[in-house]
Amino acid sequence: MPTQQDVSQHYTHGDLVAAIRKGIEAQGKTTGSIKVDDLAPVDEFHVGGRQASEDFLGQLDLNPETHALDVGCGLGGSARFAASRYSCQVTGIDLTAEYVETARVVCGWVGLDDRISLHQGSALELPFPDGSFDRAYMLHVGMNISDKAKLCSEVGRVLKGNSLFGIYDVMKVGEGELTYPVPWATTASSSAVAEPAEYRNALQEAGFTVIAERNRRDFALAFFDQLRARTAAAGGPPPLGLHILMGKNTPDKVQNMIANIASGKIAPVELIARKA
């Protein structure tokens, strides 16, 4: 069972702003000219990249009148995409201080400070009043949170009635132990992967009704095939990519992720739920 300290330590880089700036400059751009779409290779820290974000967030009816909560916002990539694509207001929260600090800097680079507010804190103790938000979502977050019931209860508390909550997580869909390390955990003891049924039960207990569910295994495998082909053609990873976040053992994490999905043990799964 991962502790909050375990999770924060796993994701802490040490000098993330400098690493991202270096990647941007290697692309021939500057922090003054970079756009949200240019940041996608490092912003989309989940299976499927930008296409996954479009497919998932497109189901939440985000619009300029919406105030959305990004649970486990990480570097703020999903918040930046949502704010730029749908012109909505986004508040994000993440456990890892460096991610939040970096996210604020990058939001400034792309001029989204007025639409995005970011906070360091726990998804199990959200520092927001009841009924603060019109929508909530999280992308690849629950694998680091053991208490799914408390997670869903807290999100339900801060959502207005009849609001949507979207979850896009890697979930356990078959038998067998996972091979580690993977992007979200170094060992099994630091992973909290759960079956979709556990999420559904937690959502129901928190007053939600699941209105859509989709297993994205085939989409994930196709995404990884394309990623490997691009990497091979380029002779290595791009200057700006997820290897900046995952570190030196990125190839091991990605390969294990692919093997675990291909063997049917896990898959990225979307759940869309509505609060009563």
Show me where the domains of the chain are located.
4-275
Residue 6's pLDDT is 67
Our measurement of the distance from residue 230's CA atom to the centroid of its chain's CA atoms, rounded to an integer in Å, reads 23
- Per the prediction, the chain carries an average pLDDT of 94
Q: In what order do the strands lie in the sheet with 159-172?
A: 116-120, 89-94, 67-71, 133-139, 159-172, 266-275, 208-215
Q: In 3-state terms, what secondary structure has residue 235? A: coil
Please name the fold of domain 4-275. Answer: Rossmann fold (3.40.50)
The answer to whether residues 151 and 145 touch, using CB atoms and an 8 Å cutoff, is yes
pLDDT of residue 123: 97
Low-confidence ranges of the chain (pLDDT < 50): none
- Residue 46 CB-half CA count within 13 A: 32
Per-residue pLDDT at 245 = 82
Alpha-carbon distance of 272 to 60, in angstroms, equals 8
Count the Cβ atoms, other than its own, within 10 Å of residue 239.
16
Task: Give the C-alpha separation, 144 to 192, whole Å.
Answer: 5
- The secondary structure of the chain in percent helix, strand, coil, rounded to multiples of 5, reads 45, 20, 35
- Greatest Cα pair distance, the chain, in angstroms, is 51
